[in-house]
Amino acid sequence: MTEAEFTAQYSDEWDRLEREITAARFVEFDLPLAHLRLCEQLAYAEANAFSASLRARLNRIALAGHRRLYGQKRRSGWFVVYEFFAEKLPNSIYFYRFYLLLAAVIFVLPSFLGLTVGLVYPDIAALGHSEYVDMYDPAQRNGSRLFDADIYMFGYYILHNTSIGLRNIGGSLFFGIGGIVSLAYNGWEMGIVAALMMHEGFAAETFFPFVATHSAPELTAVVLSAAVGLALAKAFLFPGRKLRRNSIKEATVKLFPLLLFMVLLFFIAAFLEAFWSPRNISRGLKYTVAGMVWFSLIWYFYYSLRRFVNCASSLSK
């Protein structure tokens, strides 16, 4: 729509939002949703290069709304956490949804390819993966580890998982190639090892019960790290009209919620892999907990995308 049509359609909404922001108390008015709509409208105005005066007005209202919504509540540490998971992280997920989807495809396709090749050609699956046979052989698993061993493995998993994330991010800065290769390789390895465990007969007894729970946060973090790397590569290689350093700086700020979420997921994955996954408890309980973890992550991404899709749909009406 033209700028005139855009202004005519939403002018009353902006006037009301300004009144609510400056009011002593809120009336029956969903200020968070109205503020979210305004941010989408501001993005639409900027994308269509509307007049500087209109964009300045919307930006002024958006800043005032942000201060009204969050300024006084920042004293509460719990509110900062709530704001992160309810506002900032969903916004970042939606904004970088293309990179997340691309990274997921780059990871999942080699995983299925590795699984298929490994099932059809057992010799390929066994090549260079003998340590996994010893690791998941039920005869070699004589009870749970000692607690001090769990603590040692917790540190090891954090170091190992973080190194994968850093390789995905750092490697992507070289035209995105390094991150793509690292992500695809890890996906291939996961598929190949799963096929090997099926051939050895360890999959149902030891392998899947062990990896089912911690794989949810770990694999999600791996995909997040690659998506962050690809987004940074785009900001570096194609800065547009911005200076390259400004483009990278702006992208880093926008990507920070995803980076923080990635670190949190790697930490959770390491904790589960060290203290939960090796426990000798029923497979049914492990699969139940794993299902809850997977469902929670899938629901959160669905919530993040659905929320902004609904808002964008309302703007188009």
What residue spans define the domains of the chain? Answer: 3-71, 96-306
The pLDDT value given to residue 284: 92
Q: How far apart are CA 181 and CA 172, in angstroms?
A: 9
Give 176-213 pLDDT, tens digit per residue.
Answer: 788 888 899 999 999 999 999 999 998 888 899 999 99
Contact criterion met (CB below 8 Å) for 217 and 297: yes
Burial of 312 (0-12, 13-18, 19+ CB in 10 A): middle
Q: Can you tell me which residue has the tokens 């968070």?
A: 32
Q: How far apart are CA 251 and CA 99, in angstroms?
A: 13
Average pLDDT, the chain: 84
Residue with the bigger pLDDT between 120 and 166: it is 120
Closest of 13, 5, 21 to residue 38, by C-alpha: 13
Torsion angles phi and psi, residue 27, rounded to 5: -95, -165
Contact criterion met (CB below 8 Å) for 110 and 245: no
User: Two tokens at 187?
Assistant: 């996906």
DSSP-derived letter for residue 238 is: -
The pLDDT value given to residue 32: 74
Q: Can you tell me which residue has the tokens 């949703």?
A: 33
Q: How far apart are CA 84 and CA 260, in angstroms?
A: 10
The pLDDT value given to residue 197: 93
Angle CA 250–254–260, to nearest 5: 130
The pLDDT value given to residue 315: 45
Q: Can you tell me which residue has the tokens 């993005």?
A: 43
* Mean pLDDT, range 6-30, rounded to an integer: 73
* Mean pLDDT, range 295-303, rounded to an integer: 93
The pLDDT value given to residue 218: 95
Instruction: Pick the range with the lowest mean pLDDT from 70-84, 146-160, 249-263.
Output: 70-84
The pLDDT value given to residue 26: 46
